[in-house]
Structure 1
Amino acid sequence: MLRIRVRLPDRPGSLGKVARILGAAGADVVQMAVLERDNGRALDDFTVLWPAGAGIDRLCDGLASVPGVDIVGIWPTAEPQGAFPDAALIGQLAADPGRGAVTLADAVPALLSADWAGLAEPGAGGGLSHTSLGGAADAELPDLEPVRPRAFTAEDGTQYAICPVAGRVLVVARTGAPPFHRSEVFRLAQLAGAAEAVIAGAGGTRGTGEPSDGNLVRSS
């Protein structure tokens, strides 16, 4: 699958034109999200089924032919199917709250079309204590301060979104893609807040089974 982010005129018919162009190029639209609307323009994300290994020239050429449409980015995604993936994740957290933070880190890359996610220890020199599939425990992290829900671009071009969760820092990374949108950061913070609530309700365990001091860092 691919995630396609485009800017387009915010007027009736624009979405339909983009969807038809994607279909004509051979892409099957499975999801669409409006990220923002401002000054007569909209920023939309499309998730499409696309043959693995196939080039994207047809998609780019087709979208470029639509007046007023600008391609912001096209990158691979492994988004879970289903109408409510966030709700499904909450169920997984509740099923094993002792691994809540780890479960969240493992699930977030698919939800946010990212390459990997991990849990970092707060403070100077804090390294990764857990990484999802695709991440490396010895990965060199950029400066994560201040630790609050936010997105930033590292010097090497990697896009990051971070959020405090259960006394650690949830780090999400992707390359070859646009920066994380504020709506994606908000979604990350909401999921972290839900995970913290589940962990606290289970007695304050830290997410790998070890006892916690109960001082959970709240997203704000």
Structure 2
Amino acid sequence: MFLLRVILPDRPGSLGTVASALGEVGADIHAIEIVEHRRENGTAVDDVVVDLPPGVLPDRLVSACNSVPDVEVIWFSRYGAGGGLHMDLEAVEQMTSAPAEAIDILVEQAPAVLHADWAALLDGTGSEVKVALETSATPQFGQIAEQWLPMERATALSAPDGQGLAESVLVAAPLDSDRRILVIGRRGGPEFLGSEVARLSYLASLAVAIRAGVS
């Protein structure tokens, strides 16, 4: 499975043209998600999750997209999280079905929702910041987490050198306290867009509200 993030003209037919180009190289499209509309220049950013038949080289996906006029691939990688369309809704459904565990569920689902590699719940309400919950592949944070707290709103974070974070792009949101935050990382990119930060902020607020409903 592969994830392509593409910029294309925000007009009818553009996405269909990209899909047709991918189909010509044998790609099986599993999901297409509109990440962001950029009205200032008339473009959109879309994530496309695809699979390839045996024997087809992955770089043909990039060549196919770039062959379409005014289309540019800005990110390409293998993708194993199994996400796609409706992941936000699926996460919300799981949270509402188990309200007391809503925050834990959001942490576990966050990598798939945002096409990321890992997520961690950091708790700084005590004398030191600790990792309260983490998904697989979460790196060590060391002392850098102290610099992120308190956090008032969802935001992209700067990854420090060393400590396993230097190659990651990060985004975070406060949960039920400005010293309890959800941090999500992608190894190597792409950068989290403003629309993705807004989605995380909404989901974090919703998880807190759902859990508060059973308190």
- TM-score of the aligned structures, taking structure 2 as reference length: 0.81
Partner of 2:174: 164
Letter in 2 for 1:127: K
- In the aligned structure 2, how far is the partner of 1:113 from the partner of 1:52? 24
Residue 117 (str. 1) matches residue 119 (str. 2)? yes
- In the aligned structure 2, how far is the partner of 1:54 from the partner of 1:132? 32
Residue 129 (str. 1) matches residue 132 (str. 2)? yes
Name structure 1 gaps, 5 residues minimum. Answer: 204-220
Partner of 1:175: 187
Deviation at 1:162, TM superposition (A): 0.4
Deviation at 1:52, TM superposition (A): 9.2
Deviation at 1:77, TM superposition (A): 4.4
Residue 66 (str. 1) matches residue 68 (str. 2)? yes
* Percent identical: 35
SS at match of 2:110: helix
Change (3 A) 1:122 1:50: farther
Change (3 A) 1:159 1:27: same
User: How many residues align structurally?
Assistant: 201
Partner of 2:33: 33
Change (3 A) 1:15 1:87: closer
Change (3 A) 1:158 1:80: closer
SS at match of 1:94: helix
- In the aligned structure 2, how far is the partner of 1:42 from the partner of 1:99? 35
- In the aligned structure 2, how far is the partner of 1:69 from the partner of 1:95? 41
- In the aligned structure 1, how far is the partner of 2:168 from the partner of 2:102? 26
- In the aligned structure 1, how far is the partner of 2:60 from the partner of 2:103? 40
**8 A contact 2:7–2:44 mirrored in 1:** yes
Deviation at 1:196, TM superposition (A): 0.6
1:141-180, Cα deviation, whole Å (9 max, x unpaired): 5542562211234142311110011221001011132111
SS at match of 1:72: strand
- TM-score of the aligned structures, taking structure 1 as reference length: 0.79
Deviation at 1:85, TM superposition (A): 3.1
**8 A contact 2:119–2:134 mirrored in 1:** yes
**8 A contact 2:175–2:205 mirrored in 1:** yes
